[in-house]
Chains A and B, each alone.
Chain A
Amino acid sequence: MSKVRLDFLNWRPDEDDFENPLIQAKNVLHQSEGWVPYKRPTAGAISAHSTWPTTSSMVVKALGTGEQYVGAWLENGTVAGNGFTIDLRVGLLAESSGNYSLTAEYTKITSNTVSTKSTLNNIAAFDLCEGHDASGDPVVFFSAIVEGTRATTSASSIANAGWSIAATSSIGGINITGWATL
């Protein structure tokens, strides 16, 4: 998700300098879809916002009206004896001038101990779509997965019994899937 991709949608062959290969890199595939990844916002507007003092990784996707977004983000916890604890959260955000503020938190998994390997504390997949429930009310359906291997698999660490974790898979260390209605 954090890898570089080519800006092919804006590529103009008639204006291109073929002596120099394309170097412009934008995450156009996900930007076009409204999915904007933020990785380790240690500087800039997001990290400066009081809502995200310990956020290490976040992805957002436009949804609803105006400046509404649904986001999944990781919050750093503490260094435990057997690894590093993180919280995976999903919620509704409001955007203004590049700043995101938390409108409502849908769900979270807290205090998950993961390995301290440097490649693990990233959101590996985040997706959402809109649907309806049986009453016809609009529903936002979402899923989020953190890559990594859990150091512990104790179910007691799950904050909400309604969902569970992907236990010992080498990928997909923590996973939230659910929905929110109006």
Chain B
Amino acid sequence: MSEKPSYSGSGFTSGAEQAWCCANVGQFIVIAPNSNRFSVRWSAIGDATDWPILDSAAARTKQSSNQLFPSKFGTVTGIAGTDFNAYVFQERAIWSMSYQGGDVVFSFDRFEEGRGCHRVNRFVAVDEAVFFESQYGYHVVQGNQVTDIGYGIVDKSYTPS
């Protein structure tokens, strides 16, 4: 049986920034905000309902911040989170997002240019592996290594949409 909680739907609160995708990364909720499609923003630590104003004293205290990415790699199209780390997908790049704490909060390292998630949420995480669609075909990223899994007949019959 699932150990997940049962949701009743009561107690809705609002105010979070509009977003294209979201993910749980450790004690944070990370979103790709609609206000800047080339960035991610994360909540206060330990509280998915608390989104303090960026760069405010409250944000620094609660480790809430954001990260901008180079626009040449396209918009942010997916966030695949785990307990401490995440992959942030742009249309043509992949970033490793690692929790550091302190004033830095998260560090970001781009380890792939060219292959990315070419449309919003065209990926699925299975344990430590994340399968995704790029403009070239199907791939899997694991341990910051990208592998082409559709080489041959699959990619030949693949049409990006």
Total interface residues on B, using CB and 8 Å? 53
Whole-angstrom distance between the alpha carbons of A134 and B62 in the complex?
11
Please tell me if the beta carbons of B4 and A8 are within 8 angstroms of each other in the complex.
Answer: no
Known: A29-B124, A32-B124, A181-B11. A138 touches B22 (CB 8 A): no
A155 at interface (Cβ–Cβ under 8 A)? no
B141 at interface (Cβ–Cβ under 8 A)? no
Among listed A46-54, A78-86, A98-106, interface-contacting one: A98-106
Please tell me if the beta carbons of A145 and B49 are within 8 angstroms of each other in the complex.
Answer: no
Beta-carbon contacts of A123-135 to B below 8 Å, as 1s and 0s? 0110111111110
Please tell me if the beta carbons of B7 and A141 are within 8 angstroms of each other in the complex.
Answer: no
Please tell me if the beta carbons of A129 and B121 are within 8 angstroms of each other in the complex.
Answer: no
Q: Which has the most chain A C-beta neighbours within 10 Å: B9, B34, B138? A: B9
User: In the complex, how many angstroms separate the beta carbon of B27 from the nearest chain A beta carbon?
Assistant: 8
Task: Note all chain B residues with C-beta closer than 8 A to A142.
Answer: 22
Task: Note all chain B residues with C-beta closer than 8 A to A151.
Answer: none
For B7, give its contact among A6, A11, A64, A160 (CB under 8 Å).
Answer: A64
Please tell me if the beta carbons of A163 and B121 are within 8 angstroms of each other in the complex.
Answer: no
Q: Which has the most chain A C-beta neighbours within 10 Å: B15, B123, B156? A: B15
Whole-angstrom distance between the alpha carbons of A104 and B10 in the complex?
8
Those of A128-169 within 8 Å (CB) of chain B: 128-134, 138-143, 145, 160, 162-164, 166, 169
12 more contacts with CB within 8 A, not counting A130-B24, A143-B21, are A11-B154, A29-B123, A70-B7, A104-B9, A106-B12, A125-B21, A127-B23, A128-B22, A129-B81, A132-B47, A139-B49, A179-B16
Return the 8 tightest CB-CB contacts between A and B, nearest first: A104-B9, A162-B14, A131-B48, A3-B161, A175-B18, A143-B19, A92-B9, A134-B47
12 residue pairs of the A-B complex, CB under 8 angstroms, read: A5-B133, A5-B161, A64-B6, A107-B12, A125-B120, A125-B121, A129-B23, A131-B29, A133-B47, A172-B20, A179-B48, A180-B11
